[in-house]
Amino acid sequence: MKQTAKFALLLLGASILGSAVTIVATSTIGGRDNGNFVNEISSNSNVDAAGHFYRASATASFDTDFTIAAEKSVNAVVCIKSYATPRSSRQQFIDPFEFFFGPGYGRGQRQQQDDATPQPLGLGSGVIITSDGYIVTNNHVIEGAEKLEVTLNDNSTYNATIIGTDASSDVALLKIDGEDLPTIPFGDSDALKVGEWVLAVGNPFGFTSTVTAGIVSAKARSISSATHGRSMGIESYIQTDAAVNKGNSGGALVNTNGELVGINTAIYSQTGDYAGCSFAIPSALVKKIVTDIQQYGTVQRAVLGISYVELTADMAREKGITATNDGIYVGEVSEQSAAMEAGIKEGDVIIKLGGNPVKNSGQMMEQMNKLRPGDTVEITYIRDNKTRTTKATMKNNQGSTTITKATDFTSLGCAFKQLSKSTKQSLGLNSGVQVAGLKAGKFKDAGIKDGFIILDINGKRINSQDDVKAIYNSIMNSSDNDKVMFVSGVYPTGAKDYYAVNLAD
């Protein structure tokens, strides 16, 4: 009996030691502490007919087998390599005659790079959304590229053409010449719930066709508001803890049905590598942007015409607002705007847009960017601690309900306002118009900043927005292939500047 007892104790000790080694090995190899996960499976798990583990709970159970979703998506996620000529090989030349006298007086802008060969610029991912080769990716993946090479999961390679880009949302649409290509169908990102499983599919560090899993950590997340950093444009991200690293940008975020619910675009990290927070552009926003690019050649932006801040509990107490502690607090309403025509006033708190909650700026941006000029949307707001509703017809940044075309005057992406007497006096000006409300468009692409005062375009003095529009129309209606605005002027600080605005793209 004593020998039997000793033998049993030895077996028990070996068993305990074996378990300890398993937990440590899992933690070490995985690079993070997975011991608790191992224990959970050991103590509270079941096995299905196929031999897969799934965790049981008192109220519900869920299957953690992601193989079907991975199989549906991995073949439609591509690797994108971008190439560009090194800057040292590029010699920019602007003819001085054109600088002073406008186009037609010189040979224009040219590049001398006959001896230069494009070199690898970056590596990213993309998602095939149509069987004939339309691909969605991030704008920052292809920005500055002279050549784009797309490699599919079966190692077939194509050259890609840029159909359109939108820097504000960091979305780009590419096209390759293909047939019967694998695709990922769009899913409903609005229906995603916090805690729901998702997969990130991409090419981190160049490791092609990599799949990682995580859950939705938050929705309508604004990185800049949370970190008090620089705004990244339209910020209404899906936050997940699926591992995303360099090379994942532009790849797919899919739900357990293998449907596209987001485009992976950013991580928050102090090292530059994955640290637990990944961010994706919601598929509802991506789908709208892609549709706009295909139909109109440019993204349609709806403008409500308000300045606002997120309502906080402290602000609510200060303003005497008791009906809510969150929402969009209206600070100012622009003249002749959609908001003013709908009856919105300073001090109102918008809590819903189109029936969807807008508790913070991320949700507000997401809902606004689903709309186009001319769309009518219901606004729910609080005034005098009473809930009210109204309807607003969205406008573009020029103050009309017209849809913007890629060749429209509105594609410049700004409005032009008359100079005040004080501005004219302080700068010693007799003419000029000031750039206002600058958004994504030709002017911003050229480097022009808000507040810039345009004095002349192509050698012609500018006194009003009509002058700018007349010159624009003249350029666009001409048979000249070089459709460029040579804009000169001054900033309110007195700094003079000059820009060449390419209208042909």
Structural contact between residues 244 and 274, judged by C-beta atoms closer than 8 angstroms: yes
Q: What is the DSSP letter of 419?
A: P
Distance separating alpha carbons of residues 305 and 327, to the nearest angstrom: 17
Distance separating alpha carbons of residues 355 and 363, to the nearest angstrom: 12
Distance separating alpha carbons of residues 412 and 487, to the nearest angstrom: 12
Structural contact between residues 279 and 249, judged by C-beta atoms closer than 8 angstroms: no
Give the pair of three-digit tokens for residue 459.
Answer: 């050698």
Give the gyration radius of the chain's Cα atoms: 28
Active site residues: 140, 170, 249
Give the pair of three-digit tokens for residue 225.
Answer: 């508001």
Counts for the chain of helices (H) and strands (E), in that order = 13, 30
Nearest Cα neighbor of 109 from 443, 409, 441, 499 is 499
Distance separating alpha carbons of residues 159 and 455, to the nearest angstrom: 42
DSSP E strand stretches across 341-407: 349-353, 356-357, 376-383, 386-393
Q: What is the DSSP letter of 403?
A: P
Distance separating alpha carbons of residues 142 and 504, to the nearest angstrom: 19
Q: How many angstroms separate the Cα of 126 from the Cα of each of 69, 161, 366?
A: 17, 13, 22
Instruction: Return the SS3 of 324.
Output: coil
